[in-house]
Each structure stands twice: as structure tokens, then as C-alpha cells.
Structure 1
Amino acid sequence: MQATSYTYDPETRCGSVLLDDGTPVEFDAAAFDAGGLRLLRPGQRVRIETEPVPRGEGVRITLVTLQTL
């Protein structure tokens, strides 16, 4: 799935992305580290992988990496 980087804190390696419908979804350091990135700037196009959150409360991002063509 594709999204746009919205926020990123280099100290905690946590942040959020905006899905194409404008929905914000947060990611944790484990998801950032899984993508092998060093830095993420707001506005960058990213590829994310998700998994459902228990009890149908949305999704959890498991991987964030840069979108390449």
C-alpha cells in the first residue's frame, strides 16, 4: 500500500503517514527500522505494510520504506 509521510521524529523513530484517502496512521520504531531507512521527510511517498489490529480497531503499520518506481 502507498502513503505519504506526514510526521517523523528522528529521536524516537516514530511518526505517521497519510493514506491516499487522507486518513492518518501512526507507525512505531519497529516499523521504521524494518524498512531500513535512516531518515524520513514529510511529503515523501512511502510504501507501507499493515496488519489488522485486534477487535477491528483499524490497522497497524509493520513496515515503512520509500516508494520506488
Structure 2
Amino acid sequence: MQATSFTYDPATRSGSVLLDDGTPLPFGTAAFDAGGLRLLRPGQRVRIEVTGEGAERRVDFITLQTF
């Protein structure tokens, strides 16, 4: 699934993305580390893997979207 980076805190390596429908979805340190990223800027297109549904939905993996 694709999304857009919305917030990122380099101290905690966590933040949030916006899904294409505008829904914000937070991600934690584990998801950031799983993708092998070193830095993330707001507005970057990212690829995410999500598990769960509704309020239980979470990002398990985040990396840069490449074309």
C-alpha cells in the first residue's frame, strides 16, 4: 500500500503517514527500523505494510516508494 509521510521524529524514529484517502496512520520505531530507512521527510511517498483493521490497524513496515 502507498501513503505519504506526514510526521517523523528522528529521536524516536516514529511518526505518521497519510493514506491516500487522507486517513492518518501512526507508525512506531519497529516499523521504521524494519524498512531500513535512515531518515524520512514529510511529503515523501512511502510504501507501507499494514496489519489489523479499524482501530487495531497498524503499520508493520515502511520504506520509500520507488518508481
TM-score normalised by structure 2 residue count: 0.95
Q: In percent, how many aligned pairs have the same letter?
A: 72
Q: Which moved more, 1:30-39 or 1:56-65?
A: 56-65
1:42-64 CA distance string (max 9 Å, x none): 000000001005xx424110000
Three-state SS of the structure 2 residue aligned to 1:26 is: strand
Map of 1:57 onto structure 2: 55
Unaligned runs of 5+ in 1: none
> How many residues are treated as equivalent by the alignment?
67
Rounded Cα–Cα distance in structure 1 between residues aligned with 2:58 and 2:5: 15
Unaligned runs of 5+ in 2: none
Which structure 1 residue ranges, 4+ long, deviate > 3 Å from structure 2?
none
